[in-house]
Amino acid sequence: MNGMVGRLILRRLALGVLTLFLVSVGVFFITNLLPGDAAQTALGQAATPETVAALRLQFGLDLPAPLRYAHWLVNLLSGNPGISLVNNSPVAQMIAGRLPASLLLAGVTAAVSVPVALVLGIVSAMYRGSLFDRIVNVTAVSLVSVPEFLVATIAVMVFAVKLRWLSALSHASDVATVGQFLKAYAMPVMTLCCVIVAQMSRMTRAAVIDQLRSSYVEMALLKGVNPTRIVLRHALPNAIGPIANAVALSLSYLLGGVIIVETIFNYPGIATLMIDAVTTRDMPLVQACSMIFCAGYLLLVLAADVLAIISNPRLRNR
Between the alpha carbon of residue 96 and those of residues 41, 56, 269, 288, the distances in Å are: 25, 26, 10, 11
State the pLDDT at residue 278: 82
Q: What percent of the chain has pLDDT over 70?
A: 89
- In this predicted structure, the answer to whether residue 23 has a pLDDT above a threshold of 60 is yes
Tens-digit pLDDT profile for residues 69-86: 888 889 888 888 888 877
Tens-digit pLDDT profile for residues 174-217: 677 787 788 888 888 888 888 888 888 988 898 888 888 888 87
pTM: predicted TM-score of the whole model, two decimal places: 0.79
Three-class SS of 78-103: CCCCCECCCCCCEHHHHHHHHHHHHH
37 CB neighbour count, 10 Å cutoff:
13
- In this predicted structure, the answer to whether residue 3 has a pLDDT above a threshold of 70 is no
Cα angle, residue 195 at apex, residues 194 and 197 outer, rounded to 5°: 70
Tens-digit pLDDT profile for residues 210-261: 888 888 878 887 787 787 788 878 787 777 777 887 788 777 777 767 788 8
State the pLDDT at residue 5: 67
Contact 69, 28 (CB under 8 A): yes
State the pLDDT at residue 120: 92
State the pLDDT at residue 135: 93
State the pLDDT at residue 40: 64
Going by pLDDT thresholds of 50, 70 and 90, the confidence category of residue 132 is: very high
Question: What is the C-alpha to C-alpha distance for residues 107 and 269, in angstroms, rounded to an integer?
Answer: 13
The CATH class, in words, for 99-311 is mainly alpha
State the pLDDT at residue 266: 81
Question: What is the C-alpha to C-alpha distance for residues 143 and 128, in angstroms, rounded to an integer?
Answer: 20
Smallest CA-to-CA distance from 82 within 59, 115, 52, 106 is with 59
Tens-digit pLDDT profile for residues 299-313: 888 887 777 777 665
Overall average pLDDT of the 9-14 stretch: 84
State the pLDDT at residue 36: 64
pLDDT greater at residue 239 or residue 61: 239
Mean pLDDT of the chain: 81
Contact 69, 29 (CB under 8 A): yes
